[in-house]
A and B are shown apart, each in its own frame.
Chain A
Amino acid sequence: DVKVTQSSRYLVKRTGEKVFLECVQDMDHENMFWYRQDPGLGLRLIYFSYDVKMKEKGDIPEGYSVSREKKERFSLILESASTNQTSMYLCASSLSGTGGTEAFFGQGTRLTVV
């Protein structure tokens, strides 16, 4: 069974802390994504990566950075957490190639910044 695993289901952090969200996939997928999900706003893409050490900004990259040192692992970093980064964070992965490819999502990390 394919799997995308996010390291934490729930996190509570203080304003100004540096926060790491970890995601691991076991499907040998080239592409990995970080989204945040907020009511009324849907899923918004923060960053994605199409290869090891490669990254592209999504629609809302401000305040975030990412790291992909190994193919199976994609980390989202909040450099200095703020209360407006309280959200559900979803990691996903997919195969490359022409045509549509299914994105597989993790269960999400609900981050609360206090």
Chain B
Amino acid sequence: QQQVKQSPQSLIVQKGGIPIINCAYENTAFDYFPWYQQFPGKGPALLIAIRPDVSEKKEGRFTISFNKSAKQFSLHIMDSQPGDSATYFCAARLGGYQKVTFGIGTKLQVIP
């Protein structure tokens, strides 16, 4: 049973477009929601993270929107660039533990 559901699995956008990746969760005990970015041949690296008491967080061109009542959160990439082409994972951490559950990942391709 997947505790963090991520969609879509793949996404192709033109340069300058705004790809949106969505995630949903059921367990209200999750208390930290990070996004990881993975380039081919590399391990994932933390991109941006949010707590459930915040509705939006921006870091550069990356924005997380968080809807606590709907138990959904999403990643928006403004003015996307070919260098953003990577696999993106949403994740959720169970409060009081260090165990992080990941979504299945979204492979993003930004076309020049």
Contact = CB atoms under 8 A, between A and B. Distances in A.
Interface of A: 4, 31, 33, 35, 40-45, 48, 50, 56, 58-59, 90, 92, 94, 96, 99-108
Give the interface centre of A33, A42, A50, A106 by most chain B CB atoms within 10 Å.
A42
Contacts of A108: 42-43
Contacts, number: 58
Shortest beta-carbon contacts, A-B, top 3: A105-B43, A100-B32, A42-B104
Contacts of A33: 100
B81 interface: no
Nearest to B43: A105
Contacts of A48: 98-99
Nearest to A92: B43
A42 B105 contact: yes
B49 A42 contact: no
Contacts of A59: 101
A102 B99 contact: no
Contacts of B49: 100, 102
Give the interface centre of B31, B42, B46, B103 by most chain A CB atoms within 10 Å.
B46
B102 interface: yes
Nearest to A56: B99
Nearest to B3: A59
Contacts of A96: 98
A40 B32 contact: no
Nearest to B107: A39
Interface string B4-39: 001001000000000000000000000110101000
A43 B4 CA distance: 11
